[in-house]
Every structure is written in C-alpha cells, then in structure tokens.
Structure 1
C-alpha cells in the first residue's frame, strides 16, 4: 500500500457570512493599494496522511472520516479533497 497526503479544505457555503474574509477584505480596502481585490473567503485546511491501495481509495477514506466524525457542519460548510502529488 502506498501513502497518500489528502488535503481537506473546509469553507463556508456561498451565502454564509465569512467574518474573517470580510475583515481581511476591509483591511485591504483601507490600505488603498489593493483595490483590485473584490472578495476574500477564508477556509481551514487539514492534511491527512493515509495508507491506501490507490488515490481514489485514499480520498474515499478521508471523506468517510470527515463525514463520520463530523469534522465539518454540512449545513453551513462544504469540503473539497485534493490528493498531493
């Protein structure tokens, strides 16, 4: 079995407020030199290292972990999983 690093990114769904992202955006606007930035969304990233027979199995295992342990709230958050190359 190979070892895979799976990145889990947890972020608020569209329409759910993101105070941290809003604060960063407001700070950029106040500085005045970053007027091309129109939106900032914050997220949390977790890295899992798992042993699995292939990438898809590793991804499925981590998805199950996130769902079973309720690592995120599916009502307000969404997750995306990426395998590190």
Structure 2
C-alpha cells in the first residue's frame, strides 16, 4: 500500500482575531517601512504519514482522526489539507 504525507493546516477563521499574526505584522514586518506586506495570519501545521489506497482515502482518514480527537475547534478554526506522496 502506498504511503502519503498529509499536511493538516489549522488556522483561525477569517472573522476571528489573530493576535499572533498581528504581532508578526506590527513588530517585525512593518518596521521596514518599504514592505509590500499588508496582512499576516498565523497557522499551525500537523504532518501525518499514512498508508492508504489513494490520496482521497489518506485525506479522509487523517481528517477523521482530527475530528475524533478534537485536534482543532471547528467553531473558531478552519482546516485545509494538502497531500503528497511520501
């Protein structure tokens, strides 16, 4: 069975304040007055290596684990996945 690397990216929903992203923007990025950066959002990434039949089943299995173990709070977080061959 093939192996896949599934990256789960957890970030605050757009309407939720992101103090970590604001700190990075204000204290690090904007000190350089010439920067084109206008906004920074922070996120957490978890990397899973999993054996599965295909990419879709690997993503489903990892998302099921994340939901079962409440790895993120769906009320304030949004989750995206990207899958690569391991």
Question: Is structure 2 residue 50 aligned with structure 1 residue 50?
Answer: yes
1:67 aligns with 2:67: yes
User: TM-score when scaled to structure 2?
Assistant: 0.92
**Alignment partners' CA distance in 1, 2:20 and 2:68:** 27
Secondary structure of the residue that 1:49 maps to in structure 2?
strand
For 1:21, the equivalent position in structure 2 comes to 21
Q: Deviations over 1:5-63 (max 9, x none)?
A: 000000000110111100011021123232x1110000000000001011100000001
Unaligned runs of 5+ in 2: none
Q: After the TM superposition, which of the residue ranges 23-32 and 55-64 deviates more from structure 2? A: 23-32
State the superposition RMSD in angstroms. 0.9
1:30 match: secondary structure: coil
Tell me the secondary structure at the aligned position of residue 26 of structure 2: helix
Task: Structure 1: give runs of 5+ residues left out of the alignment.
Answer: none
Taking structure 1 as the reference length, the TM-score comes to: 0.94
The residue aligned with 1:30 is 31
